[in-house]
Structure 1
Amino acid sequence: MSTATENFVKAIYNNNSHDAHNTKPGNIAKKLGISSAAATDMAKKLAAKDLLNYQKYQELQLTEKGRKMAMNIIRKHRLWEAFLFKMFDMSLHDIHKEAELLEHQTSDLLANKMSEYLGHPKFDPHGDPIPNAHGEITTTDTSFPLSQAAAGNTYIISRLTSDDKEFFEFCAQHKLKYGHEIKVSKQFKNNKMTELSVHNNTILLNEDFTTLIYVNSTK
């Protein structure tokens, strides 16, 4: 399959994972930086190949064949992120950019070899789950946005859900990394801000950040 096809089905899967109503062709077009007309044309072509279901003005839904393709690409992407992070200690932004390119050039054989070399990791450095060779995610996600965390409790950062360079630079600077422990000092509900403590430093974050940082309770 072409890179354009793989990116299209991956975008549908990722958008659907975050918002079931965000998979209309226009929204997928914004995600991929193409026109709405081009997205609609692609949707029709992929529907003919049984990769998705297309109905005018409706959300796009992947078929089982399309879902398997998306999971295969996502697996390769996240394995590359884990590999590049381990081998070269690259930034989270840079490993994402490189994985976007490498995922399309990676055979299933190489993906399996990377997974074996890395010890079959369950999560990538962002905290996103890595599907297994059968396209299955075998972990249970109990995380929730930092914006919903209760004041006075301690949490573990479980996922950073952005691909923005400045976001990752800020997180690295303030030690907001996957697996790190943080304590929520106060939630300013009216102003949609969160005060937290990380390594004895106090940070105040607005909702633009706290909705992108997912946490799990330490209990």
Structure 2
Amino acid sequence: MSIAIENFVKAIYKNDKHDINDTKPGNIAKKLGISNAAATDMAKKLATKDLLHYEKYQKLRLTKKGTKMALNVVRKHRLWEAFLFKMFDMSLHDIHKEAELLEHQTSDLLAEKISEYLGHPKFDPHGDPIPNANGEITTEDTSISLSKAKEGKTYIISRLMSDDKEFFDFCAQNGLKYGNTILVSKQFTKNKMTQITINTNTILLNEDFTNIIYINEN
């Protein structure tokens, strides 16, 4: 399959699972940086290949075949992120950018060799689950967004759901890293802001950040 097709089904999968935006063609177009017309044409084309279900004005839904393809691409992407992070200590933004290129050039055999070398990790450095060779995610997601955390409780950062360089730079500078512990000291519900303490530092975050930082109870 072409890179464009792999990116399209991956975008539908990720929007369906994680993003605030739904999977209508317009939102997929925005995610991929293409026109609405191009997204609609691609959706119609992939529907004929039994990769997704298309209905005018409705959300796009992946078929079993389409989901398997998306998970295969996601697996390769996240394995490369884990490999690059371990081997070269690259930033979270840089490993994502490089993995976007490498995922499409990686055979199933190489993906399995990378997984074996890394000890078959279940999560990438962002905290996202890595599907196994059968396209299955075997971990249970019990995380919540930081915006929904309770005051006075400590949590462990379980996921940083973004591909934005400024976001990752901010996280790196302030110790907001997968696996680190934070204390939620105050929720400013009216103003949609959250105050946290990490490594004795107090940080005030708005909902643009707290909606994409995921946590589990400590």
TM-score range, shorter chain: over 0.9
Over aligned residue pairs, what C-alpha RMSD do you find?
1.0
Partner of 2:176 in structure 1?
176
Alignment of 1:21-32 (within 5 A): 22-32=22-32
Question: Matches of residues 26-45 of structure 1 in structure 2 within 5 Å?
Answer: 26-45=26-45
Question: How far apart, CA to CA, are the structure 1 residues paired with 2:206 and 2:20?
Answer: 25
Q: Which amino acid aligns with 2:71?
A: M
Contact 1:130 1:137 in 2 (8 A): yes
Query: What's the CA shift for 1:18?
Result: 2.5
In the alignment, structure 1 segments of 5+ residues that lack a partner are none
TM-score (norm 2): 0.98
How far apart, in 2, do the equivalents of 1:19 and 1:183 lie?
Answer: 25
Aligned mates of 1:54, 1:192 — CA distance in 2:
36
**What's the CA shift string for 1:166-205, capped at 9, x where partnerless?**
0000000000000000001111111111111100111111
Identity of aligned residues (%): 78
Give the alignment of 1:5-154 within 5 angstroms.
5-18=5-18, 22-154=22-154
Unaligned 5+ runs, structure 2: none
Provide the C-alpha distance between the structure 2 equivalents of 1:171 and 1:197, rounded to a whole number of angstroms.
Answer: 13
Aligned residue identity for 2:99: A
CA displacement 1:36-85 (0-9 Å, x = unmatched): 11111111111111101111111110000000000000000000000000
Which amino acid in 1 is paired with 2:208? D
Judge conservation of contact 1:127–1:159 (CA < 8 Å) in 2: yes
Q: Matched residues in 2 for 1:55 and 1:204: separation?
A: 43
Aligned to 1:216: 216
Whole-Å separation in 2 of the counterparts to 1:36 and 1:193? 34
Structure 2 residue 6 is matched with structure 1 residue 3: no
Look up the equivalent residue of 1:149 and give its one-letter code: A
Q: Given the superposition, is the C-alpha separation of residues 21 and 87 from structure 1 closer, same or farther in structure 2, using an over 3 Å criterion? A: closer
**CA offset at residue 103 of structure 1?**
0.1
**C-alpha distance after superposition, 1:133-178 (max 9, x if no partner):** 0000000000000111111000000000011000000000000000
Alpha-carbon deviation of 1:21? Answer: 6.7
Q: Distance in 2 between matches of 1:78 and 1:36?
A: 28
What's the counterpart of residue 159 of structure 2?
Answer: 159
SS in 2 for 1:80: helix
SS at match of 2:121: coil
**Aligned partner letter, 2:13:** Y
TM-score (norm: length of structure 1): 0.98
- Alpha-carbon contact 1:21-1:59 (below 8 Å) kept: no
Instruction: Give distance in 2, aligned partners of 1:26 and 1:206.
Output: 27
Runs of at least 4 residues off by over 2 Å: 18-21
| Distance in 2 of aligned mates of 1:206 and 1:41 | 37
CA distance in 2, matches of 1:142, 1:128: 12
